[in-house]
Chain A
Amino acid sequence: MSSNKFLKHEGPWSDANDPLMCSDTGSWRTKRPVVDKEKCIFCGFCALYCPIQVMEMVETSHFLPDLGFCKGCGICAKECPKDAISMKPEGDFQK
């Protein structure tokens, strides 16, 4: 929620003591990265190259995207040396 108490327009300063702004970027996704845990060798390239930096380590076993914010760009799938990530249409996950 907006914590803007003073101005209703773009201000000359912004206060990072307030909660940070955060868009629902997960809702932009048209394709969803699905990680094959068996194929994943835990190299971390997906995490390194993900522009949103939302590829999270699951113990020391594999990586999983934070789907709340993943924009579905597909970079992780493209850069994974083991093809462990596939991009599936987002519609497939809707009930």
Chain B
Amino acid sequence: MTEKKQGKLTKVLDYLKHEDPFSKGVAFCPGCGLELLLRFIPQVLGNDIVITGTPSCSAPVLLGQNNQSWHTLSYFGTLMTGAAANATGLARYYRKAGIKNTVVCFNGDGTAADIGFGNLSGAAERNEPFIYICYDNEGYMNTGIQKSGTTPYGASTTTTPLGSASKGKNLRRMNLALKMAMHKIPYAATATLSDMGDLAKKLLKAKEAKERGFAFLHVFAPCTTGWGYAPENTIEVCRRAVKTNYFPLWEAVNGKIRMTKTVKKPKPVSTYTKLIKKFAHLNEADLQILQDDIDYEYCMLGGLSALEGECQLPVSSED
């Protein structure tokens, strides 16, 4: 046998220091971004985390069914209206009992951006010591692909369908991560599945930051079933979302924004949308609206990160 070229194992695998606590055959769709994220988090943060979350695609797996479990992590299932409030209770209990651990409030964009936003904002303002992770698949996928606050302009969902009276969502998406950074919490960041090293670093930073208070991670996690793209493209969709600035990667420490990845020559948004059926009907003019929105948000982010150093926080919460 001829000597074959041997590469080096990607360094990102070094972040996976812990066991995958999930059973091998878990009932998520093939190519599911959420499944990859869920298996990744405890491998990076450790299996001693306590997860709490709400009805969503993640819940049947995290909560278990028929008294049986899909994983060995601790999980507390709660309602969408009070996810962050429940996590607050858990984190405070552990603090009071002197138990050192990490509470992770794990929810979709429906809970984080819409239904449970009030108490998410409240927990951030009170600087409660836990990590809140929003996995963003831009809609209510588990209940049948309805639109949410993070659904982008033009996307067709079952509540913003394609038809004679509607051409997909005619509103722009909200920027949840930026809103959370504006709470001036110890840590807020965006991440996605094409940049796993970046995601791992941010998870670890969030774990460290939660010693000082609230940590928020917004993870872009595409849904093959709800968006209509080929399952093998999950990572490619994430990659193109980053390369078009559709989903820029940044972090904010105490509200100070810093880009963690800058794209030298951003591609037009059409290179991203063409992979996905929910955008298939968009014409040039529609795409321009989406592009303008992306450019606007990116410009705003750039402006805010450039201000770092110029604006002084009135009180430094760094220790």
Query: Which A residues fall within an 8 A CB radius of B?
Result: 2-4, 6-11, 13-16, 18, 20-26, 28-29, 38, 41-45, 47-54, 60, 66, 68-69, 71-75, 77-79, 87
Contact = CB atoms under 8 A, between A and B. Distances in A.
Contacts of B5: 41
A15 B231 contact: no
Contact of B31 (A14, A21, A24, A74): A74
Most buried by A among B5, B32, B64: B64
Interface residues of B, number: 46
Contacts of B36: 49-51, 53
B31 to A, nearest CB: 4
B12 interface: yes
Contacts of A29: 30
B165 interface: no
B7 A41 contact: yes
A12 to B, nearest CB: 8
Contacts of B236: 78
Nearest to B76: A13
Contacts of B233: 78
A6 B7 contact: no
B214 to A, nearest CB: 28
Contact of A14 (B22, B24, B35, B69): B69
- Secondary structure dominating the interface of B: loop
Given A14-B63, A16-B72, A43-B9, A54 B232 contact: no
Interface in B12-57: 12-13, 20, 22-28, 30-33, 35-36, 39, 43
Interface of B: 4-10, 12-13, 20, 22-28, 30-33, 35-36, 39, 43, 63-73, 193, 196, 224, 230-236
Contacts of B28: 51
A25 B7 CA distance: 31
B27 A23 contact: yes
B25 A22 contact: yes
A78 B66 contact: no
25 contacts: A2-B66, A2-B68, A11-B64, A11-B66, A13-B64, A14-B69, A16-B64, A18-B69, A20-B22, A20-B70, A21-B70, A23-B26, A41-B7, A44-B9, A47-B13, A48-B10, A49-B235, A51-B39, A52-B26, A53-B36, A73-B231, A75-B232, A75-B234, A78-B235, A78-B236
